[in-house]
Structure 1
Amino acid sequence: MRQVSPINYQIEFEPNFDNFTFRGSEKIAIKVSSPTNKITLHAAEIEIKQCSISWNNKIIKTRAIVNEKTEEITLVLAQKINGNATISIDFIGQLNDKLVGFYRSKYKFNGKEKYLATTQFEAADARRAFPCWDEPEAKATFDVSLLVNKNHTAISNMPVISKRNIGKKTLYHFDTTPIMSTYLLYLAVGEFESISTKSGKTLIRVITTKGKISQGRLSLEFTKQFLSYFEKYFKIAYPLPKLDMIAIPDFASGAMENWGAITFRETILLYDPKTSSTETKQHIAEVIAHEIAHQWFGNLVTMKWWNDLWLNESFATFMATKAVDALYPEWDFWDQFLISEMTGGLSLDSLKSSHPIDVPVKSPADVRQIFDEISYNKGGCVLMMLENFIGPDNFRKGLYSYLKKHEYANATTEDLWDSLGSASRQPVRQMMNTWVRQVGYPVIKVKAENSRLKLTQSRFLLESNGKSKTGKWIIPLSVRTKDRTVTKLMKGPVTIPHKSGWFKVNDGQKGFYRVKYDNNALDELGIQVEDKTISNVDRWSIHHDLVALCLSKQISFREYLDFVRHYENEDDYVVLSDIISSLNFFYILSSGEAFWDEIKEFNLDFFNKIFVKLGWDKSEGERSTVALLRGQVISSLGRLKDKDIVKEAQARFANLLKTGKLEPDLRGPVYSVISWNGDASTYQKILSLYRKAPTQEEMVRLLSTLANFQDKKLLSKTLAFTLSKEVRTQNLFQPIARMVTNPQGKELVWPWIKQNWRGIVTRFGVGNPLLNRIVGSVSIESSMEKEREIKKFFTKHHVPGTEMKLAQTLERIRINSNFIETTRKELS
């Protein structure tokens, strides 16, 4: 039990847009469990103007000692206190431009520059807005007031209960929040407009800056649908009277689940039927579902400490897919889950520099590093595996028990295992601790001999030197043969009777592991792939595992390409998307090698066979995933300079310039093709479209396009442009991510990062999650010399919170280098 605990915060903020500061005053009702004359709170980048403590009807003289390094203030009291007391603090803070804490966002309306103020407090940035106990377990209630200019509107977690004019300003007072963590508090001030609807008694609003509200109608409908879905699924009513969905022009993350006031990047909440793609529509649905799921997992029940971040993010990831699939089954969202979640989870967790799902966290810098593919993707995948193991009904009962038992409080991973284990009467804790407490995942090696299948497990690593921890998992094993499916818990080596014919391990890809077959078994599966006698998901998993086995040098690149030919008549989106992505990766990685042309010819042949079936234009009644596949194939063929594709893309782009019309799903692919094959004149046209783009989605699309050109002078121009005032900080990473996949551009990125590192850090601010993306962008490099250079640079230019990403980046470079060296020998 903590010595001093907050009970309630009464806080008033007054933002000043003239000098980008804010004034704050707070009264914190506290409970002191044992006598003390020292109270320590979190505070960062805040100037304390006055502080005092009221106890037993008297004011205790108080002195504040600030520790900038630990982001704390210690209040030293003239005497010891015990029991209930109230801390009063007046302070001043900065409306910063770093996208964390209480920050400002700039946008234009009718050609005029405007500002709004908004907050991003997760993980540990509420302390930049007000002194507080900035930890998940220090839950309290909040009474928020905002004193704002009369032309501004104020928003917080709860509804407004009073408004009154004070001189030239308006004081908004909001209702008391439920008991909750500081990172979920929300404040916003600006010129907003909204549309609303109701779901039961809950008021739902979509809120935007002026002029954009018409683009919020789709999100309003999604919000109503998903809120209703989760209330029925969890059998627990959404506990707040309102739910705001707020589009913010500048936002570091994709979205944030502030209780009752969820914030989003504009690209993830606003939808324009004229320019928004199918991919954007589905992404909006998925993120809205993810953030609404947090209102239960994270907000109603919160992890005790950040080591259990996965209790928030993995569940929101898993539940979002469940919700979207339930409401839009035609989108094949569980299939897409393999691309969006399992791919990233398996990839990162195949590194020695990965981390367990339940990971030790000591500082804010540690917290920021684990918002990654382990906490989101791997966690979501192991939950899918667990639900499949104990059954959907038991899973749902266990979740209900967990949420009811810990509502408005904190919980740990063990609490969840207890609830799910009780509901299912299965060894949930024993099994799942092998997945969340240790790093990595297994590869199952299977051999057929003497009418038996012999299966063994070991840790899968892309770079293995025999020194890493091996690991041992309790695996819900599923093996399908022609006439039956065998399931069992695999703790050690397993033997299964099997007479002859094909077999597929990890049936339906419910398990978070890879499989390595011997050559005979793989040949048999190749026939099943061609005949499509196994599911699309199983066809996906066979290919996906082969890519990893190839990168880890367990099969040759030639063996991989030979097996891909089994997919030449494939027509499924999830399977083909994985193959296209992999072939493109190998093509980019091999640029400049003697065997580059061989890969190019292979890819051209394979992609054209897909395109012939798709064509340029959608057919009536086609599935939405066909549009996604079409865009991927067209972009890929354009990068390979297919003459017919280039010619048609140029014609459609010319028509866009003339009429303004271009199918939304073709905008990205057409821009990609014409830029890859374009000149300085084309560059200027793209830049002009960027400056006139009507939506953030279109701006990001065009900004990325500027990284596609093959002229290095134009690419250098793009890199310089990304640091200009014309590019929002949140979007700076977009052209970098595209340029590292450009053979002509990838060698420019690292020198540019080195040269501009100080400016990049200054612009983002230490601790900004976007900084890790910049560090990770160079992982496409494939030279050991470059690995040493990058390592040496960051040793001299260390930034806290980037250590884990740097280690992962260096490891990926070594993996790429080893692959290139091995393939060079193989194909010479």
Structure 2
Amino acid sequence: MDVNPINYELTFEPDLKKFTFLGTEIITVSCKKATNLISMDCAEIKIKSCTVKSGSKIIKSTPKSDEKKERLSIRLGEKIKGKATIHLEFQGILNDRLLGFYRSQYKQGGKTKYLATTQFEAADARRAFPCWDEPEAKATFEISIIAENKFSAISNMPVQSKKKIKNKTLYKFGKTPVVSTYLIYLGVGEFEYLTGKTGKVQIRVVTTKGNKSKGKYSLELGKKLLNSYEKYFGIKYPLPKLDLIAIPDFAAGAMENWGAITFRETILLYDPKTSSTRTKQFIAEVISHEIAHQWFGNLVTMKWWNDLWLNESFATFMATKFVDKFYPEWNLWDQFIEDAMNTAMGLDALKTTHPIDVKVNSPAEIREIFDAISYDKGGCVLRMLENYVGEKNFRAGLKKYLSTFKYGNAKGQDLWDAIGRASKMPVSSMVNTWLKQPGFPQIDISQKNNDLVLRQNRFLMEPTKKTQKGLWHVPITYGLGKETKTKLLTKKSMTVKAPKGPGFVANIGRTGFYRVKYDDGILLDLKMLVDQKQIPPVDRWAIQNDLFSLCVAGKEEVENYLDFSDAYFDEDSYLPQTNVATNLNSLASLTFFEDYSEQIRSYTINYFRKILSNLGWVPQKTDKHTDAFLRGFAIFALGKFGDEYVLEQAQIKFKEFLKNPSSLHPDIREPIFSLVAWAGNAKTHSQLVTLYKKAKTTEEKLRFLGAMCSFQNEKLLIKTLQFSQTSEVRSQNMQLPIMKIAANPYGKKILWPWLKKNWDKLSKKVGYGNPLFNRIVASIALVADDSMEKDIKSFFRSHPTPGTERTQAQTIEKIRIHSKFLRQMRKEFR
């Protein structure tokens, strides 16, 4: 860039009655070459005046906005060079689209209230003030906010001074260190604060009035995490304060603005009486993720958005690592494997996936890559890398990287070089095979006498000659117990000595991001070892997890999977148990209306009955953390597949709940409410709507909304969808009813016609360019079959939804895979 920003002096005056804001801005810039044109990013902003000064001289200037390109160009009467200042006055909109500078609406004591807040990542700071809106254009910021007296104001830095002006207050904030525009924060509202300290840093939880008592857990955890990260990175937290801010309307889960992190209320506020175990865990993971960003992302920022994945996957990986330190009993790495690795592999086994490191040009393309590849596959690759080089070398490389590039920008390659130097291992060449090409390998293992032959091929659900290519540097650890070896497979195939003893496992601990296909002889040995629990839980998980995905890909028979799953009947470890349950549940749901479904369904019911009889209905003090997840899952699955006893119990427990809400544990509320709906009628529906409206917390509201998606009657499901379009349901939760109804077998026929009919209304409600659209598009994969492919394609051609093109292609591919899988099962079971 020929013109670089050095400092922004900004004053904002939001009007929460007219939903507009006034702004003044002085940008100090440095012009490398003589120029008579200054061009920057600017969208949905009216420029009221523009003056450019070079030294003390005022230069004639003409501003011109290009709405389509989101650019502001300032033509100058003469060429300028060196330092200059641009003085702008402008007006903008406090929109309701949850991006840029926007308004959030909430109710308090029956009154409607508003607050103003920001979401600038990836490229929406330009909606609040004209700027160079890209990560590399770092500058310092001096921010002021003029707010009505009843409000308080928040930004990245602490308040330096407050001054009364008539019925308003002028807040001046401290000057920031150099920072990218996407991390700037502005907040104005009737906030209350819960304040704490760690060292010299002030930490606050910020909420709307009446909610601060629910911020205690987050405040304590925030203090602990800030300390731990300082120690791990060897760099003090760079700002004087850290705010954790709960926002009623928020499109993402949370956003790591430097010193002023924003969250959805449900991800920051915890009430031990009404919140579920899952909510507590989720809050911990998200706070940890966002605090990790304060160093990795904020202090050192990617040069351009193609390295976004490194920001996100790193924060995901670190979040798990640190919460695991505080709560080892939560088994977070097991859950990471079940959630992150499964999700990432599901997406990455498609032809329509993308490499982790992906070229990004426009803001709409940036939104598209906030997906499971950027977050989850990236996190799995980092875990594989840490395992390959060792924890000590990984951390040493990381510390070096952060101290070298602090307050600057870096590329992913800079990190690989640092870890490579620390470990003296071929990090860069290994890791780049996982970043630059899409997909991941399947390693075929066959035994010949005392040798094992290992082969790698790309694992795809719909392979073609063209997409089958790919060669990875695969760290393969194999063996059993203490006898293990590690080899780096860099060619198509290699032969190694087989370990001695009965059977062995490859990809031990599932640290590598790849699937394993064993030959029949090895698999038979493994079944016995699983049954006798001679293999660690994570490897028991992996063997059947790979086998199941081979079935879906048409490379293995479902009968074989069901036979193999017998070995897990007495399974007592969360990871394998939950995954076998998930796989059986998905087979039974997929074949729900098939005439051979009985065979699969009875397998599934038996498995879930065993889980529920082990756990019991009522949560106990002695429960493991993850029991809470399994219990709810088992109750709902059994009811859905027709277990009379479970359906009766659900009714009894629901009646008790209506008399005395505290009689029903938060962890099993949603499954119980959902089963009442499953067996319910129109009267039940209106009862759930009333309960939804009366619910005191968002978390409880969402349980009732979820339950309303579980009816068997199609008309009632349509009623739920219509209800979700009213002002009763926030736009940020719009994807939930759609995803839940897609997962309900009785939602299959109605969802796609309803979506088509209501697409324009939906687009208006959810907001153009909102990332939640990708969730809505992806849910179509559960309700469509390949006879609908043409219809779906032509619908999206005539209703373009920018930022979802990749998800559309992936959804259509998934529809073909499901249809092919069903046809294969019909052949197998008829």
TM norm. shorter chain > 0.5: yes
Whole-angstrom CA distance in 2 between matches of 1:549 and 1:104: 48
The match for 2:637 is 636
Letter in 2 for 1:505: A
Q: Supply the AA of the counterpart residue of 2:545.
A: H
2:124 corresponds in structure 1 to: 125
Match of 2:215 in 1: 216
- In the alignment, the residues of structure 2 paired with residue 279 and residue 528 of structure 1 have an alpha-carbon distance, to the nearest angstrom, of 32
Q: What letter corresponds to residue 101 of structure 1 in structure 2?
A: G
Q: What is the TM-score with the length of structure 1 in the denominator?
A: 0.99
Pick the aligned partner of 1:792 from 791, 794, 799. Answer: 794
The DSSP-based 3-state class of the residue aligned with 2:743 is coil
Counterpart in 1 of 2:80? 81
Which among 739, 757, 760 is matched to residue 759 of structure 2?
A: 757
The Cα offsets for residues 364-397 of structure 1, whole Å up to 9 and x where unpaired, read as 0110000000110000001000001101011100
- State the distance in 2 between where 1:185 and 1:166 align: 25
**Structure 2: distance between partners of 1:377 and 1:654:** 41
Partner residue in 1 for 2:140: 141
| 1:61-210 aligned within 5 A | 61-210=60-209
Q: In the alignment, which of 785, 792, 795 is matched to residue 783 of structure 1? A: 785
CA contact (8 A) 1:782 1:820 kept: no
In structure 1, the residue matched to 2:511 is: 510
| Counterpart residue number, 2:461 | 462
Query: What's the secondary structure of 2:466's corresponding residue?
Result: coil
Bigger CA drift: 176-185 or 49-58?
49-58
| Alignment map for 1:430-445 (pairs within 5 Å) | 430-445=429-444
Query: Is this contact kept in 1: 2:97–2:766, CA < 8 A?
Result: yes
Q: CA deviation at 1:500?
A: 5.9
The aligned counterpart of 1:808 is 810
Shift of 1:750: 1.0
Secondary structure of the structure 1 residue equivalent to 2:23? strand
Following the alignment from structure 1 to structure 2, what is the Cα–Cα distance between the partners of residues 758 and 669? 32
Q: Are the counterparts in 2 of residues 453 and 496 from structure 1 also a CA contact under 8 Å?
A: yes
Output the amino acid matched with 1:650: Q
Counterpart residue number, 1:674: 676
Corresponding residue SS for 2:622: coil
Decide whether the 8 Å contact of 2:508 with 2:539 is kept in 1.
Answer: yes
Between the aligned partners of 2:88 and 2:787, the Cα distance in structure 1 is 54
Match of 1:727 in 2: 729
TM-score (norm 2): 0.98
- Asked if structure 2 preserves the Cα contact closer than 8 Å seen for 1:482 and 1:502, the reply is no
Aligned residues: CA RMSD? 1.1
Does residue 234 (structure 1) correspond to residue 236 (structure 2)? The answer is no
Q: Residue in 1 aligned with 2:528? A: 527
Gaps in structure 1 of 5+ consecutive residues: none
Aligned to 2:746, what secondary structure does the other structure show? coil
Pairwise CA distance, 1:63: 1.1
User: What is the match of residue 686 of structure 1?
Assistant: 688
Q: Residue by residue, what CA displacement relative to the aligned partner does 1:96-125 show, whole Å, maximum 9, x if unpaired?
A: 111011111100111100000100000011
Provide the rounded CA distance (Å) in 1 between the counterparts of 2:711 and 2:589: 15
Q: Where do 1:273-352 residues align within 5 Å?
A: 273-352=272-351
CA distance in 2, matches of 1:665, 1:482: 37
1:548 aligns with 2:549: yes
Q: Does 1:570 align with 2:577?
A: no
Structure 1 residue matching 2:82: 3-state secondary structure: strand
- Separation (CA, whole Å) in 2 of partners of 1:401 and 1:347: 34
Structure 1 residues 374-421: Cα deviation after superposition (integer angstroms, max 9, x where no partner): 110000001000001101011100000000000000000110011101
Is the contact made by 2:45 and 2:92 (CA closer than 8 Å) also made in structure 1?
A: yes
Q: Which residue of 2 aligns with 1:743?
A: 745
2:485 counterpart letter in structure 1: V
Q: Distance in 1 between matches of 2:25 and 2:177?
A: 18
**Does the Cα contact within 8 Å between 2:145 and 2:172 map onto a contact in 1?**
yes
> How far apart, in 2, do the equivalents of 1:660 and 1:465 lie?
55
Task: Give the 3-state SS of the residue equivalent to 1:63 in structure 2.
Answer: strand
Secondary structure of the structure 2 residue equivalent to 1:134: coil
Q: Specify the SS of the correspondent of 1:299.
A: coil
Q: Name the residue aligned to 2:484.
A: 485
Q: Which moved more, 1:727-736 or 1:621-630?
A: 621-630
Is this contact kept in 2: 1:14–1:147, CA < 8 A?
yes
SS of the residue 2:710 aligns to: coil
In the alignment of these two chains, the number of paired residues is 827
Task: Work out whether residues 252 and 769 of structure 1, in 8 Å CA contact, stay in contact via their aligned partners in 2.
Answer: yes
- The one-letter amino acid paired with 2:41 is H
Alignment identity in percent? 52
Deviations 1:205-236 (A, max 9, x none): 00100111111111111111111111111111
Alignment deviations for residues 559-613 of structure 1 (CA, whole Å, 9 cap, x no partner)? 1111111110001112121122222222222232222232222211111111111
Do the aligned partners of 1:458 and 1:472 also contact (CA within 8 Å) in 2? yes
- Name structure 2 gaps, 5 residues minimum: none
Deviations 1:331-363 (A, max 9, x none): 111111112211111111111111111100000
Higher mean alpha-carbon deviation, 702-711 vs 372-381, is at 702-711
1:660 aligns to 2:661 (yes or no): yes
Aligned position for 2:56: 57
Report the Cα distance in structure 1 between the residues aligned to 2:217 and 2:621, rounded to whole angstroms.
22
Aligned to 1:389: 388
- Kept in 2, the 8 Å contact 1:144–1:156? The answer is yes
1:433-455, Cα deviation, whole Å (9 max, x unpaired): 00111111101000001211100
Aligned partners of 1:469, 1:180: CA distance in 2, in Å? 43
1:483 CA displacement: 5.8
Find the counterpart in structure 2 of residue 703 from structure 1: 705
* Partner in structure 2 of residue 623 of structure 1: 624
> Partner letter of residue 82 of structure 1?
K
| Cα distance in 1, alignment partners of residues 529 and 38 from structure 2 | 68
The code of the aligned residue for 1:265 comes to R
Q: Deviations over 1:491-548 (max 9, x none)?
A: 1112121256312110010000000011111111111111111111001111211121
Task: State whether residues 451 and 500 of structure 1, in contact with CA within 8 Å, keep that contact through their aligned partners in structure 2.
Answer: no
Q: SS state of the match for residue 624, structure 1?
A: coil
Q: Deviation at 1:782?
A: 4.7
Letter in 2 for 1:533: Q
1:380 aligns with 379
Match of 1:357 in 2: 356
Distance 1:585 1:825, change over 3 A: same
Aligned 8 A contact 2:724 2:734 in 1: yes
Q: Name whichever of 251-260 and 674-683 sits farther off.
A: 674-683
Partner residue of 2:772 out of 767, 770, 773: 770
- Partner Cα separation in structure 1 for residue 655 and residue 419 of structure 2: 58
The residue type equivalent to 1:152 in the other structure is F
Distance 1:298 1:500 in 2: 48
Distance of 1:821 and 1:524 partners within structure 2? 31
Amino acid at match of 2:502: G
Give the counterpart letter for 2:497 in structure 1: P
Name the SS for the 1:740 alignment partner. Answer: helix
Partners of 1:695 and 1:715 lie apart in 2 by: 24
| Greater mean deviation of Cα atoms: 794-803 or 255-264 | 794-803
Alpha-carbon separation, structure 1, partners of 2:642 and 2:694: 28
Measure the CA separation in 2 of the matches of 1:620 and 1:195: 30
Of 665-674 and 297-306, more deviation after overlay is shown by 665-674
Which runs of structure 2 are paired with 1:580-619 in the superposition (5 Å)? 580-619=581-620
- Distance in structure 2 (CA, Å) of the matches to 1:752 and 1:349: 30
Measure the CA separation in 2 of the matches of 1:589 and 1:62. Answer: 65
Tell me how far apart the structure 1 counterparts of residues 616 and 561 of structure 2 sit (CA, whole Å): 28
CA offset at residue 723 of structure 1?
A: 0.8
Aligned to 1:495: 495
Cα distance, 1:245 vs structure 2 = 0.3
Q: What SS does structure 1 have at the residue aligned with 2:745?
A: coil
Q: Aligned to 1:378, what secondary structure does the other structure show? A: helix
